[in-house]
């Protein structure tokens, strides 16, 4: 019997063929409010994926669940290092109640079972926030060194090796400084290395946040509205930075963004939420032309929404009549 074709060969999109993250039946309730309602989607390895939707749609809540800031009410969040897990591997890690199944070539992490510090330290998921959260009184360089605190603490033997200046510690400190310099250069902040982060212009603070997240060597970078408050030139620079992060470091990127010029320009895959529910999922082109998205999000005014919905209903009715005749 001929072997069945691989998912990629079968023409599936990358997020189906090689998902780095699978969000499965995610619910998040706050008392009587259902902020995320049975949400499932996948993030392709090496893809730039955008999560979009009107204000209050539940996007940041999804990020908070993925990054361990919230414990979801229900659902599974599967992060795969290496290849995606087989159904058997997934069933095993789920049923034995462990948070991860770590192998030499590939590992699987169930993020809903992990607190935020394990999601970043072990599963290697980094994030930035909608409201910038830098250490404003520290310099640019210090912010990038603090981001490597965990690695340095381990290398210092929790201070002992550091106190005696042992070679392993010195090498780790040199490597951390090199990494900080590399990312400073990458985001164009080398000449501001010794300035307090709080003195930087807004766009530069946003870039520093991304550099700080990258200093933890994430495999998945989650960015909450990275283009908010940027002017068109800065948005363009952001697009280039994100493309190069993906191309040179293979980091997969999941971003929440309202700026459609960023979303349509750099995303491979777009997922649309409205009232906590997924209403569209596909390539930027497919999503842009989806009438549900146009009605819910892409700026038709309220009067036009009913009109568009009537058109959709008429289309569906015509389609089903056609299908039955």
Report the half-sphere exposure of 58 (CA within 13 A, side-chain side): 25
* Smallest separation, CB 52 to ligand ATP (Å): 9
* Smallest separation, CB 202 to ligand ATP (Å): 18
The residue count for binding ligand ATP (CB under 6 A) is 11
227 binds ligand ATP (CB under 6 A): no
229 binds ligand ATP (CB under 6 A): no
Q: Is there a contact between 138 and 193 (Cβ–Cβ < 8 Å)?
A: no
Candidate list 5, 56, 103, 201; residue touching ligand ATP; CB under 6 A: 56
Q: To 5 degrees, how large is the angle CA 14–CA 19–CA 24? A: 125
55 binds ligand ATP (CB under 6 A): yes
Residues 25-54 that bind ligand ATP (CB under 6 A): 30, 33, 35, 53
251 binds ligand ATP (CB under 6 A): no
Q: Is there a contact between 44 and 300 (Cβ–Cβ < 8 Å)?
A: no
Burial of residue 214 (number of CB atoms within 10 Å: 0-12, 13-18, 19+): buried
> Nearer Cβ to ligand ATP, position 66 or 180?
66
128 binds ligand ATP (CB under 6 A): no
> Nearer Cβ to ligand ATP, position 30 or 182?
30
Candidate list 42, 45, 59, 207; residue touching ligand ATP; CB under 6 A: 59
* Smallest separation, CB 70 to ligand ATP (Å): 7
202 binds ligand ATP (CB under 6 A): no
> Nearer Cβ to ligand ATP, position 169 or 297?
297
Candidate list 57, 230, 245, 272; residue touching ligand ATP; CB under 6 A: 57
20 binds ligand ATP (CB under 6 A): no
Give the whole-angstrom CA distance, residue 280 versus residue 240. Answer: 26
* Smallest separation, CB 169 to ligand ATP (Å): 40
1 binds ligand ATP (CB under 6 A): no
* Smallest separation, CB 147 to ligand ATP (Å): 24
Each residue 60-79 as x (binds ligand ATP by CB under 6 A) or -, in order, gives: xx------------------
207 binds ligand ATP (CB under 6 A): no
Candidate list 44, 58, 162, 226; residue touching ligand ATP; CB under 6 A: 58
Site residues, ligand ATP (CB under 6 A): 30, 33, 35, 53, 55-61
């Amino acid at each position: 019997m001929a072997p069945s074709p691989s998912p990629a060969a079968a023409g599936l999109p990358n997020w189906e063929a090689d998902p780095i993250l699978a969000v499965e039946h995610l619910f998040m309730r706050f008392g009587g409010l259902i902020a995320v309602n049975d949400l499932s989607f996948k993030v392709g390895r090496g893809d730039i994926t955008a999560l979009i939707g009107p204000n209050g749609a539940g996007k940041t809540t999804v990020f908070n669940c993925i990054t361990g800031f919230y414990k979801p009410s229900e659902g599974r969040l599967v992060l795969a290092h290496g290849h995606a897990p087989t159904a058997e591997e997934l069933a095993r890690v789920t049923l034995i109640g462990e948070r991860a199944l770590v192998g030499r070539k590939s590992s699987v992490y169930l993020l809903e079972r992990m607190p935020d510090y394990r999601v970043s330290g072990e599963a290697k998921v980094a994030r930035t926030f909608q409201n910038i959260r830098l250490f404003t009184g520290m310099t640019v360089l210090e912010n990038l060194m603090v981001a490597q605190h965990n690695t340095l603490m381990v290398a210092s033997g929790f201070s002992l090796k550091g106190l005696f200046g042992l070679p392993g510690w010195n090498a780790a400190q040199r490597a951390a400084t090199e990494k900080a310099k590399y990312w400073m250069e990458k985001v164009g902040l080398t000449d501001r290395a010794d300035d307090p982060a709080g003195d930087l212009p807004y766009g530069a603070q946003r870039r520093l946040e991304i550099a700080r997240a990258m200093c933890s060597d994430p495999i998945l970078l989650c960015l909450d509205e990275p283009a908010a408050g940027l002017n068109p030139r800065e948005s363009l620079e952001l697009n280039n930075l994100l493309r190069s992060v993906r191309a040179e470091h293979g980091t997969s990127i999941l971003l929440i963004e309202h700026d459609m010029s960023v979303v349509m320009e750099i995303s491979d895959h777009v997922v649309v939420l409205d009232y906590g529910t997924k209403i569209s999922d596909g390539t930027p082109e497919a999503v842009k032309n989806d009438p549900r998205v146009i009605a819910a999000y892409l700026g038709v005014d309220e009067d036009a929404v009913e009109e568009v919905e009537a058109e959709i209903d008429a289309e569906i009715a015509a389609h089903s009549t056609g299908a039955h005749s």
